[in-house]
Amino acid sequence: MPLRLVFMGTPDFAVPVMEAFIANGDEIVAVYSQPPRPAGRGQKLTPSPVQACAERHGLTVRHPVSLKTPEAQAEFAALNADAAVVVAYGLLLPKPVLDAPKLGCFNLHASLLPRWRGAAPIQRAIMAGDAETGVCAMQMDVGLDTGPVLACEKVAIGPRMTVSELHDELARVGAPLMVRALHDFADGTIKPQPQPEAGVTYAAKLTRDEGRIDWTKSAAEIDRMVRALNPGPGTFFELNGERIKVLAAEPAAGKGVAGTLLDDAGAVACGEGALKLLKLQRPSKSAVATADFLRGLPLPKGTKLD
């Protein structure tokens, strides 16, 4: 039976989920998303990917600043939804909102809960060197990703997988999982299971300074960081007062004093092993392959990177 839904989401990751419910024949009575933000060189106000998708389907879009006011809560309750589907929305849902839909509010979370609760589960899984992660459809409560779980699906993290690749795979797997889990719950064929207390970890929000490369770490650790933090917030080192972004790299053979160039091709000594820089970007310049970067800014063997 089709469900009457409110969809709440903002980034690209949420779009396949919303489209899956539309394709399934469910009725989305309203879409909640973060408001348009300045983007690009002209800083033109640009709607979120979810808002853009909703408008293509002729759906009503709302972007309240907060859901804590009585007015916002009354407007939400008046939608008389069977359920709310929440995917990377960006606002906390207070208890009156969580309690308003008949079945409750349900979230698609990009980890195998209770591991990596919080804001950056995809990046943290790669940075930690996890062999696998996944997606969980969960019933929301007032805690941070603490609600009972309806269903999960695992996804392997390949040895060279980037955050963009893992993001896309999790979105692809998560969309049908969320539709199936919510309908099974509505039909009474599955029951949410409490999360185990063992194995809880938190995926803290990423900060810009977190991307500064510490060359005393192992090459494997730095490689994971580069794969996890690009395109944003990005990884970088400093050279002659410039912040140089490292957009791609890979472990390489070699050893030496951490942070020094080992050759003329961009291999850098780390605390353990070496890292070959593959793609770099100077401030206000285009990203280029390291060979092209070094043609424009030759760096001799032994140069120290900060």
Q: What is the pLDDT of residues 138-173, one digit of tens each?
A: 999 999 999 999 999 999 999 999 999 999 999 999
Alpha-carbon separation of residue 214 from 71, 153, 210, 222 (angstroms): 48, 34, 10, 8
Query: What is the mean predicted confidence (pLDDT) over 188-202?
Result: 97
The residue ranking higher by pLDDT, 98 or 264, is 98
**Prior bond of 114 cis (ω within 30°):** yes
Amino acid letter for position 219: A
Q: What is the pLDDT of residue 43?
A: 84
pLDDT score for 295: 92
In this prediction, residue 187 has a pLDDT band, given cuts at 50, 70 and 90, of very high
Which residue, 300, 299, 177, is CA-closest to 242? Answer: 299
The pLDDT, as a whole number, for residue 52 is 97
pLDDT band at 40 (very low <50, low <70, confident <90, very high): confident
Residue 27: band (very low, low, confident or very high) from pLDDT cuts 50, 70, 90? very high
For 265, residues 6+ apart whose C-beta sits below 8 A from its C-beta are 276, 290, 291, 294
The percent of residues in the chain predicted with pLDDT above 90, rounded, is 94
Distance CA 240, CA 276 (A): 20
Separation CA 152–CA 136 (nearest Å): 4
User: Which residue(s) pair with 38 in the sheet?
Assistant: 45
SS3 46: strand
As a whole-number percent, the residues of the chain with pLDDT over 70 amount to 100
Distance of CA 16 to the CA centre of its chain: 14
Say which residues have a Cβ less than 8 Å from residue 49's Cβ, sequence separation at least 6.
Answer: 10, 11, 12, 14, 15
**Chosen CATH of 4-202 out of 1.10.10.410, 3.40.50.170, 3.20.20.100, 3.40.50.300:** 3.40.50.170
HSE-CB of 211 using CA atoms within 13 angstroms = 23
Handedness of CA 137, 94, 187, 16 (dihedral sign): negative
104-109 vs 132-139, strand pairing mode: antiparallel
Give the pairing type, strands 242-252 and 274-281. Answer: antiparallel
* Domain spans, the chain: 4-202, 208-296
Lowest mean pLDDT among 181-185, 197-201, 239-243: 239-243
Under the banding of pLDDT at 50, 70 and 90, the label for residue 134 is: very high
Residues 6+ apart with CB under 8 A from 58: none
Q: Which pLDDT belongs to residue 41?
A: 76
pTM of the model: 0.95
Q: Report the topology of domain 208-296.
A: Methionyl-tRNA Fmet Formyltransferase; Chain A, domain 2 (3.10.25)
Tokens found for residue 183: 């309908």
Nearest to 16 by CA among 77, 88, 94: 88
